[in-house]
Amino acid sequence: MKHLAVAFGLSLSVLTSPAWALGAGDDDSERLARWKEIQTSIFGERKLEATEAMVKIDAPNRAMDASLVPITLTMPEKDKITGLHLVIDDNPSPYAAKFTFGPAADPGEIKLRVRVNNYTNIHAIAETKDGKLLETVKFVKASGGCSAPMGMTDEEAMKGMGEMRMKFAGDAAPGKPMEATLMIRHPNFSGMQMNQVTRDYTPARYITKVEVSRGSSNVFTLDGDISISSNPVIGFSFVPEGKEPIRVVAIDNQNGRWEHSFTAPAVSN
Amino acid sequence: MRMSRTRREALFGGLCLCCLPTLGRAADAFAMEEIGPGIFMRRGIDGEATAENADAIANIGFIVGDEAVLVTESGGSHADGAWLRAEIVKRTAKPIRHVVLTHVHPDHCFGASAFAQDYPTFIGHHGLSAALDSRGEFYRGRLAEVLGAERAGTVVKPTMNVADTAEIDLGGRTLRLTAHGTAHTNCDLSMLDTRSGILFPADLLFVARIPSLDGSLVGWLKEVERLKGMGAAKAVPGHGPTLVDLAPALADLTRYLSVLRDGTREAISTDMPIEKAVQTVGRDEGDKWLLFDSYHGRNVTQAYKELEWE
Gap between the Cα atoms of B274 and B259, Å rounded: 16
Q: Answer whether A192's CB lies under 8 Å from A3's CB.
A: yes
- Binned at pLDDT 50, 70 and 90, residue A153 comes out as confident
Contact B10 A111 (CB under 8 A): no
Name the residue range of residue B173's domain.
8-207+223-244
| B141-183: pLDDT as tens digits | 999 999 999 999 999 999 999 999 999 999 999 999 999 999 9
Look up the pTM and report it. 0.88
- Binned at pLDDT 50, 70 and 90, residue A152 comes out as confident
In terms of Cα–Cα distance, which of A55, A79, A57 is closest to A237?
Answer: A79
Asked if pLDDT for residue A195 goes beyond 90, the answer is: no
User: CATH homologous superfamily for A4-262?
Assistant: SoxY domain (2.60.40.2470)
Q: Is A138 exposed, middle or buried (0-12, 13-18, 19+ CB in 10 A)?
A: middle
What CATH number is given to the structural domain containing B190? 3.60.15.10
Q: Answer whether A116's CB lies under 8 Å from A36's CB.
A: no
Gap between the Cα atoms of A159 and B222, Å rounded: 22
Q: What is the mean pLDDT of residues A69-93?
A: 96
Residues of A in contact with B134 (CB under 8 A): 149-150, 153, 193-197
Q: What is the mean pLDDT of residues B279-304?
A: 96
Gap between the Cα atoms of B14 and B132, Å rounded: 17
Asked if pLDDT for residue B26 goes beyond 60, the answer is: no
A231 close to B (CB below 8 A): yes
- Is B215 domain-assigned? no
Greater confidence (A214 vs A267) lies with A214
Q: What is the mean pLDDT of residues A169-191?
A: 91
- Is B180 domain-assigned? yes
**What pLDDT shows up at residue A172?**
83
Pairing of strands A257-262, A69-74: unpaired
Q: What is the mean pLDDT of residues B42-64?
A: 96
> How many Å is the Cα radius of gyration of chain B?
18
- Is B306 domain-assigned? no
Pairing of strands B121-125, B174-179: unpaired
Residues of A in contact with B271 (CB under 8 A): 167, 169, 181
Shortest alpha-carbon distance between residue B219 and chain A (Å): 14
> How high is the mean pLDDT of chain B?
91
- Is B277 domain-assigned? no
- Binned at pLDDT 50, 70 and 90, residue A141 comes out as very high
**Residues counted in chain A:** 269
Gap between the Cα atoms of A178 and A196, Å rounded: 45
3-state helix, strand, coil in chain B (%, to 5): 40, 20, 40
**What pLDDT shows up at residue B248?**
98
Residues of A in contact with B135 (CB under 8 A): 149, 194
Asked if pLDDT for residue A21 goes beyond 70, the answer is: no
Asked if pLDDT for residue B25 goes beyond 60, the answer is: no
Q: Estimate to the nearest angstrom the gap between the alpha carbon of A98 and the chain centroid.
A: 7
Share of chain B above pLDDT 90, in %: 88
**What pLDDT shows up at residue A229?**
96
SS3 string, A132-177, reads: CEEEEEEEEECCCCCCCCCCCCHHHHCCCCCCEEEEEECCCECCEC
- Is B232 domain-assigned? yes
Q: What is the mean pLDDT of residues B276-282?
A: 97
Read off the amino acid at residue B239. H
- Is B212 domain-assigned? no
Asked if pLDDT for residue B27 goes beyond 90, the answer is: no
Q: Which of residues 157-186 of A touch B (CB under 8 A)?
A: 165, 167, 169, 181, 183, 185
